[in-house]
Amino acid sequence: MAVIIEPFRIKVVEPIALPDRRERERRLAEADYNLFALPADCVTFDLLTDSGTAAMSAAQWGAMMIADESYAGSRSYRRFEDAVRDLTGYRHIIPTHQGRAAERILFHLTVRAGSIVPSNSHFDTTRANIEYDRGEAADLVVAEAADTGSPFPFKGNIDLARLDDLCRRERQRIPLGLLTITNNTGGGQPASLENIRGCSRVLRSHGIPFILDACRFAENAYMIKLREPGQGGRPVSDIAREVFRLADGCLLSGKKDGLVNMGGFLALNDDRLAAEARNLLILTEGFPTYGGCAARDLEALTVGLREVLEEPYLEYRLASVRYLAEGLNRAGIPTVQPPGGHAVFIDARRFLPHIPPGQYPGQALACELYLAGGIRSCEIGSVMFGKRDEGGAFVPARWDLVRLALPRRVYTQSHVDRILEICAGIAGRAAELRGMEIVWSPPFLRHFTAKFRPLARGAPS
């Protein structure tokens, strides 16, 4: 089949906003050039995140109607527990309202001052929750991930030699090891089955529990199928099931591959830890048979976890990300290679070499994408991760990327074609784009609320 189609037809539609250029200019200025501050009703293509933005299926909406909202022992929980246990193999299934609630519970129970939690790369909420409990989040992604242009297929792999070395030196300080699949921070890149097996072996050899941050587990499994020698003939659900069984538990935000707008869970094999987690759950999330969710959310998640492993869906999903990346590359816009599972990451530092990292090329591009065509994206670079050293000098992030995240089952190919048209227009006048300065920022997680100002042409770098 030459054209890979959306394997669904549309039953419910939602109009999208089509503000004109003047309105976009006004709205962006009112938002102080921070896209998080834009009201959604002036955004045409909302590629800010793939989290909680999926379109649910008729089967999911139908399942919500038969939810059992009993406070305790709901039938919906039983169905959810059976489905998650069948998929993951873990003994204890603890529902939470989203991924970070599961993180907070797990790390609060395991991380102490001075603890170290290794991962390929921590997502910002896992890092923040570990640091909140005064632990250290260590990123041990493979060296191949540093070169955004290289075609290495598994840039989400963890460096097994560094992991083993860290475990050997600091065994007493490591309560658990994490692996983020796919590796969101590093460009939505997958970890290979061989690497996950290796990670499991290393951690187990040191007696350290292995927990997956598995919110994009299906995309990771499908990229294993597509890219890893020997895996092409296996059903993707089989690969996913093996991956879960290599670990001792998982954190899972259902807002990504769960195909729901809200929901998640913590799953564990360790009986004692699970009992403690349920106690904490009751304190802030709710009774263990609903956690932070309504029973209808659990029903939708139960169906979503099944639908996300359907191969025509995953084929279309990965093809649409690849289509966007290849179109951008043809227009001369460099992206992290190879395209990952949920988003295309534009390398703004390479695309706009005349804007130094201290003038936030990612933010400049994100603002231009909005001005030129109403596209909302997310800077992942020196706004998010840049720092000042002790002497006050600016220390840029490792990269200046702009993430175009694709909500699941939401936009069609003609939407992507229009996005490509807008981007090609920007590529033709890239040299005219100007940098930005931050005029106000909060003490932490500044990207959410910082205020910016475009720099005048010819401003000193």
Query: Could you list the residues that contact ligand F0G (CB under 6 A)?
Result: 49, 51, 98-100, 123, 125-126, 180, 184, 213, 215, 253, 255, 264
CB of 265 to ligand F0G, least distance (A): 11
Tell the smallest beta-carbon distance from residue 131 to ligand F0G (Å): 15
> Which of 253, 268, 254, 342 minimizes the C-alpha distance to 299?
254
CB of 105 to ligand F0G, least distance (A): 12
* β-pair type (210-213, 249-253): parallel
Tell which residue, 15, 46, 18, 16, has the closest CA to residue 366: 46
Query: What is the rounded CA–CA span in Å between residue 204 and residue 162?
Result: 15
Q: How far is the CB of 299 from ligand F0G (least distance, A)?
A: 18
In the complex with ligand F0G, which residue's Cβ is closer, 398 or 434? 398
Query: What are the residues facing 189 on neighbouring strands?
Result: 183
Output the smallest distance, CB 47 to ligand F0G, in A. Answer: 11
Sign of CA dihedral 162, 168, 171, 175: positive
CA atoms within 13 A on the CB side of 76: 27
Provide the 3-class DSSP secondary structure of residue 450.
Answer: coil
Q: CB of 342: closest distance to ligand F0G in angstroms? A: 8
Q: Which is nearer to ligand F0G, 217 or 313 (CB)?
A: 217
Closer to ligand F0G at the Cβ: 43 or 355?
43
Amino acid at 116: I
Residue type, 336: V
Choice between 125 and 231, CB closer to ligand F0G: 125
Q: Are strands 210-213 and 177-180 parallel, antiparallel or unpaired?
A: parallel
- Looking at the Cβ atoms of 99 and 435, the one nearer to ligand F0G is 99
Q: Which is nearer to ligand F0G, 338 or 407 (CB)?
A: 407
Rounded least distance, CB 191 to ligand F0G, Å: 12
Q: Cβ closer to ligand F0G: 51 or 382?
A: 51
Identity of the residue, 156 or 288, whose beta carbon is nearer to ligand F0G in the bound complex: 156
What is the distance between the alpha carbons of residues 251 and 264, in angstroms, rounded to a whole number? 8
Residue closer to ligand F0G, measured from CB, 317 or 435: 317
Q: Which is nearer to ligand F0G, 191 or 352 (CB)?
A: 191
Q: In sequence order, what are the residues at sequence separation of 6 or more whose Cβ sits closer than 8 angstroms to the Cβ of residue 227? A: 153, 154, 190, 192
Contact 298, 80 (CB under 8 A): yes
Cβ count near 30 (within 10 Å) = 12
Residue 170 CB, nearest distance to ligand F0G (Å)?
Answer: 24
Minimum Å distance from CB 93 to ligand F0G? 16
Query: 137-143: which pairs have CB atoms within 8 A and are 24 or more residues apart?
Result: 138/166, 139/185, 140/166, 141/183, 141/186
What are the start-end ranges of the E strands in 319-450? 343-347, 375-376, 378-380, 387-388, 394-395, 401-405, 436-440
The smaller minimum CB distance to ligand F0G, of residues 156 and 435, is found at 156
Q: In the complex, what is the shortest distance from the CB of residue 415 to ligand F0G, in angstroms, rounded to a whole number? A: 19
The DSSP result for 286-321, as a single string, is --TTTTTS-HHHHHHHHHHHHHTT-HHHHHHHHHHH
Angle between helices 217-227 and 311-330 (to 10 degrees): 80
CB 101 → ligand F0G: shortest distance, Å? 7
Q: Which residue is nearest to ligand F0G (CB)?
A: 99
**Could you give the angle at the alpha carbon of 445 between the alpha carbons of 439 and 449, nearest 5°?**
45
